Amino acid sequence: MHRPHCSKVAETCQMALQRIEYLAAHPDASNEESPYYSVDPAPALPASTPIAELRQQLLDESMRMFDGGVEAVKVLGEVFSSCRSALLRHEVAYVLGQMQDQAAADVLVAVLKDSTQHAMVRHEAAESLGSIGDNKTKRLLAQFSQDAEPIVAHSCVVALDMLEFEASGAFEYADKGAGAAVKVC
C-alpha cells in the first residue's frame, strides 16, 4: 500500500542514501567494525569528542540525522522530550539498549509508559529493555504485552523472550513469539 507521505520512512531512506554517499567517499570506512557487531547508519565520531558538542549535535534538529556511560544516557534521554523526529527517538531507544547500561532502563521505562510517544518509539524502548531488564522490568513488559498498540504489545513479548534467553545462558537466541502484522505510519 502506497502512503503519500510517511516522514519516518523518508528519514530512514535519506539516512541510507547518506550512508552510501559516505562509504563511496570513504572506502576504508566500510572495513571498520562496530563494537556492537551492528551496521550503524552513520559513522561514529571520535571518542575524544566532548559531550557538550555531542549534545549540541544530538539536539539540533536542523542538522541531518546522519551527522548528528551514565552522562551519555542522560544526554540521549533528553531526545525523548525535546525532539519531534520519531525516527531519531526510535534510534536513540535502540542505542540505549545497545549500551546495556542499567541507567538507561529508567529512561526506556518512561518511554514505554508514555502513550504520547509514537508506537515505533515505544516498540524500540520495549525491545531495548529486553537487553538490560531486571525483575521489575519483566513485570512492566508483561503488563505492556497487552498494550492496545499491537507493535508495542508484540515487542514486549519479544523483550520478555530475550530476557528469558539471557537468563538461560543458552548459546543461540530464537524468538518464540508469534508474528503479527503491524501498522508503522
Domains and CATH numbers, the chain: 48-168 (1.25.10.10)
Q: Which of 135, 182, 126 shows the shortest CA–CA distance to 158? A: 126
- Residue 121 near residue 89, CB atoms below 8 Å: yes
Smallest CA-to-CA distance from 41 within 3, 60, 15 is with 15
Specify burial of residue 34 (Cβ count, 10 A radius: 0-12, 13-18, 19+): exposed
Answer yes or no: are the C-beta atoms of 125 and 157 closer than 8 Å.
no
> What is the model's pTM?
0.64
Count of other CB atoms within 10 angstroms of residue 136: 10
At residue 91, the pLDDT reads 94
What does each of the 185 residues of the chain score in pLDDT, given as a tens digit? 455 567 667 777 777 787 788 778 877 766 666 666 666 666 677 778 898 888 887 777 676 555 546 777 888 899 999 999 999 999 999 989 888 888 899 999 999 999 999 999 999 999 999 988 788 899 999 999 999 999 999 999 999 998 988 777 766 655 455 455 555 55
| pLDDT, position 74 | 85
Contact yes or no for 29/22 (Cβ under 8 A)? yes
pLDDT of residue 133: 77
pLDDT of residue 123: 97
pLDDT in the model for residue 98: 83
